[in-house]
Amino acid sequence: MGMAAESQFHVLAVDDSLFDRKLIERLLQKSSCQVTTVDSGSKALEFLGLRQGIESNDPNALSTAPVNHQEVEVNLIITDYCMPGMTGFDLLKKVKESSAFKNIPVVIMSSENVPARISRCLEEGAEEFFLKPVRLADLNKLKPHMMKTKLKNQKLEEIEELSKDENGTVAAAAAVVPEIKGSTKAEIEVLPLQQDLLLVQQGDQTLSTNNKRKSMEEGISTDRPRPRFDGITTAV
């Protein structure tokens, strides 16, 4: 493996050819990139923290459990297409199927110009397809893809921080919501009935008061007749 210290972007280069690995490494280092080189797709998966299922009978089965996962951010993967065991196309599919690494841009290299192969890789999610020998001008096209990955990772970190800060408030609100919902539902069902009963009671009280007042007036007029003042004259 080759490394360039204190680089801005980290590229994982995969090629079974030692010559091509050295060439890619030098070109990327000239572009101020940190480079990790491996000679097979399976080693690339190991570096990312992925591995092929050992217990499964299917050699293409993939385990997402980290195995010797290096705490190094990978901003881009560039891989040869034709490699023994796992091809570059297979590696591309494994990366895109992984929830943790599907956003990492993948670039395919090949010494054969096969349009159907190129189309298949691009349809599967490859960002670029370079013909060998790869030139420095080709690698300069990769910077926007790596920058895009950096920005996505920064946004994800910001979102995670915000969710952590709001977690306590959200949890407290979630704990209160069931009680509010329960009481609100009960109030919705009981309140109209209470209002009706209250109105009936108020109506009964009003009617009773009116009846009492009427009875009192009738009682006064019957039992206590008003005095007549026929003998009183008014002085002018």
Q: What is d(CA 189, CA 200) in angstroms, rounded to the nearest whole number?
A: 18
- CATH code: domain of residue 36: 3.40.50.2300
- Check whether 112 has a pLDDT greater than 60: yes
Residue 214 belongs to a domain: no
Asked whether residue 80 is domain-assigned, the answer is yes
Q: 10 Å Cβ neighbour count for 109?
A: 23
- Over residues 67-93, the mean pLDDT reads 86
Question: pLDDT at residue 183 above 80?
Answer: no
User: pLDDT tens digits, residue range 197-226?
Assistant: 555 566 556 555 565 565 555 554 445 555
Specify the 3-state DSSP secondary structure of 58.
coil
Task: Convert the pLDDT of each residue in 17-64 to its tens digit.
Answer: 999 999 999 999 988 899 999 999 999 999 999 865 433 344 444 544
Q: Is residue 50 one of the residues assigned to a domain? A: yes
CA-nearest of 39, 46, 38, 49 to 12 is 38
To the nearest 10 degrees (0 to 180), the angle between helices 88-97 and 115-124 is 20
Higher pLDDT, 156 or 98: 98
**Mean per-residue pLDDT, 81-110:** 95
Q: Tell how strand 106-110 and strand 128-131 pair up.
A: parallel
pLDDT at 1 over 80: no
Q: pTM for this one?
A: 0.58
Ramachandran angles phi, psi of 162, nearest 5°: -65, -40
- Residue 113 within any structural domain of the chain: yes
Number of domains in the chain: 1
- Burial (CB count within 10 angstroms: exposed 0-12, middle 13-18, buried 19+), residue 75: buried
- Range of the structural domain that residue 66 is part of: 9-141
Interatomic CA distance for residues 41 and 108, integer angstroms:
12
Tell whether 148 is covered by a domain: no
Angle of CA points 158, 150, 95, to nearest 5°: 105
Residue 40 lies in a domain: yes
Whether 123 is covered by a domain: the verdict is yes
196 within a domain of the structure (yes/no) = no
